[in-house]
Structure 1
Amino acid sequence: MKVLISVDMEGISGIVHSTETNPGHYDYERGRALMTAEANAAVAGVLDAEPAAVVWVADAHGTFRNILPEKLDRRAHLVRGKPRPLGMLGGLDEHTEAVVLVGYHARAGGGPAVLAHTVNDEILDVRVAGRSLGEIGLNAAMAGHLGVPVVLLSGDDAACAELRELVPSAVTVAVKQALGQAAAVAPHPGEARERLRRASADAVARRALIPPLTMAGPLEVEVDLRSPATVDLAVLVPGVSRAEGGRTVAISTEDFAGTYRLVLLLAHLATVKPG
């Protein structure tokens, strides 16, 4: 069997501030080490449950070049770099039997939650069929589009609650309790990793009992953007229109794969600044 472990950074135990998650800033190297260690805990848990599993680890934070390759469990395959098909779910395909989300964070507007946002700071909200989705919901629904369940999520308590609302039977591991956007209380990183390893084994073992998150098309999608300049670029995309309010774009997509691709494109357009 194949398992994909998608690893973000803001939800890693011990991380509470953007200086720990952005290259070139104070303590980023420690953040990378903590992220790699939690990825290894999840890999070990998956293989505890299914020793013959093929495990892919997708670096899913920022540049997608954060996990330390030489420190990653050598039994795993590392998906690294961007842009790439399916973004944070790089490596997902029809042969995948389960997805594990490690180090994930709550959506923009959620909270109290550590470093809550949706894709980047330029996307304020994504609504699909009227339901607000952050990275947790977007990735769970994209996996579900291919019939793959998200069986486990680790992150702060707000992130865990977000997945349970979408997939009540999924396993969650709160590796820290959020006190605010940049504050939390967490166990020792070693304790967090032990919990994550046990939970990963449990989640993979009971994967057949956890349904994929599915959202049948066609889907009405609205995205709130911080910058009006990004809206100006977005409406150049066929099918995208400007919605009421000036900072919202709308589109009807045939299925969730179309929705997911649109959000990835908007995230990249948001990095283009007016000349």
Structure 2
Amino acid sequence: MKVLISVDMEGVSGIVHPSETNPDRYDYERGRALMTAEANSVIAGVLDAEPGATVWVADAHGPFRNLLPERLDRRARLVRGKPRPLGMLGGLDADTDAVLLVGYHARAGGGPAVLAHTMNGELLDVRVAGRSLGEIGLNTAMAGESGAPVVLLSGDDAACAELRELVPGAVTVAVKEAVGQAAAVALHPEEARERLRRGAAEAVGRRAAVPPFTLTGPLAVEVDLHSPVAVDLATLVPGVTRVGGGRTVAHTAADFAEAYRLLLLLAQLSTIKPG
């Protein structure tokens, strides 16, 4: 059995501010230690339920180089660095039996929700087949495209509600209650880790009862971009057109895997500044 744990940072207990998630800011080292500890709790929970499982952990925040390799449970394999196929789901393949999303946050425009955004924050809204999706929805659908259900998510209460809307049978662990974009009432980190270990064991144990979330192609994709320059660059991609004014681009994807790859590319294009 293969399990993939995708670990983001904004949804970790105790984290509420960009200074705790940005490698260039003073509080980042504590943030990455908290992130690594929560990942270890989920690894332990998976192996409590399935001692023979192969566990892959995808570092899924920012530069994808946040988890402390020397502190990560040695029973897991770490997928680290970027760019890489499938982005936040690095390591996902047809052999993956279950996906767990740890430390995730709500989509851009969701709220109140701690550090809510979509991808790098330059994508203001992503709509696939008319449904607004953030990182939770996009990664859940990409896992489903490979046949793997998302069986657990941890983050604030808004993030947990976002997954339950898509996958009612999934286990969610709310490690904090959002007060606003940069404020929350959080569990003590040790309490959060205990709940995560129990939740991961429960989620893996009942994975057969959780169907993959899938979106069947062809799929209409619309993306509102923050930067007008990013819109100009996006229209250079074959099949991408400008629609509905200056900020929106559209594309029809043959399947969700194509849509996902396009969004990864748009996120990268959105970081390019005028020459």
Determine the C-alpha separation between the residues in 2 that align with 1:92 and 1:177: 30
Deviation at 1:134, TM superposition (A): 0.1
Q: Equivalent residue for 1:174?
A: 174
For residues 50-73 of structure 1, the C-alpha deviation after alignment (integer angstroms, 9 at most, x for no partner) is 000000000000000000000000
Q: Equivalent residue for 2:130?
A: 130
For residues 111-163 of structure 1, the C-alpha deviation after alignment (integer angstroms, 9 at most, x for no partner) is 00000000012100000010000000000000000110000000000000000
> What is the identity, as a one-letter code, of the residue corresponding to 1:214?
T
Determine the C-alpha separation between the residues in 2 that align with 1:192 and 1:245: 44
Deviation at 1:229, TM superposition (A): 0.4
> What is the identity, as a one-letter code, of the residue corresponding to 1:186?
A
Q: Equivalent residue for 2:116?
A: 116
Deviation at 1:230, TM superposition (A): 0.2
User: TM-score, normalised on structure 2?
Assistant: 1.00
Moved over 4 A (4+): none
Name the SS for the 2:155 alignment partner.
strand
Name the SS for the 1:143 alignment partner.
helix
Determine the C-alpha separation between the residues in 2 that align with 1:121 and 1:97: 30
| 1:152 corresponds to 2:152 | yes
Aligned ranges 1:78-89 → 2 under 5 Å: 78-89=78-89
Determine the C-alpha separation between the residues in 2 that align with 1:264 and 1:206: 31
Name the SS for the 1:55 alignment partner.
strand
Percentage identity across paired residues of the two chains: 79
Determine the C-alpha separation between the residues in 1 that align with 2:120 and 2:248: 16
Determine the C-alpha separation between the residues in 1 that align with 2:189 and 2:148: 29
Determine the C-alpha separation between the residues in 1 that align with 2:243 and 2:212: 31
Aligned ranges 1:125-274 → 2 under 5 Å: 125-274=125-274
> What is the identity, as a one-letter code, of the residue corresponding to 1:76?
A
Determine the C-alpha separation between the residues in 2 that align with 1:145 and 1:72: 28
| 1:51 corresponds to 2:51 | yes
Name the SS for the 1:176 alignment partner.
strand
Deviation at 1:24, TM superposition (A): 2.0
Supply the RMSD in Å over aligned alpha carbons: 0.4
> What is the identity, as a one-letter code, of the residue corresponding to 1:185?
V
| 1:62 corresponds to 2:62 | yes
| 1:14 corresponds to 2:14 | yes
Determine the C-alpha separation between the residues in 2 that align with 1:27 and 1:246: 37
Determine the C-alpha separation between the residues in 1 that align with 2:3 and 2:121: 30
Structure 2: segments with no counterpart, 5+ residues: none
Determine the C-alpha separation between the residues in 1 that align with 2:72 and 2:153: 19
Structure 1: segments with no counterpart, 5+ residues: none
Determine the C-alpha separation between the residues in 2 that align with 1:69 and 1:228: 38
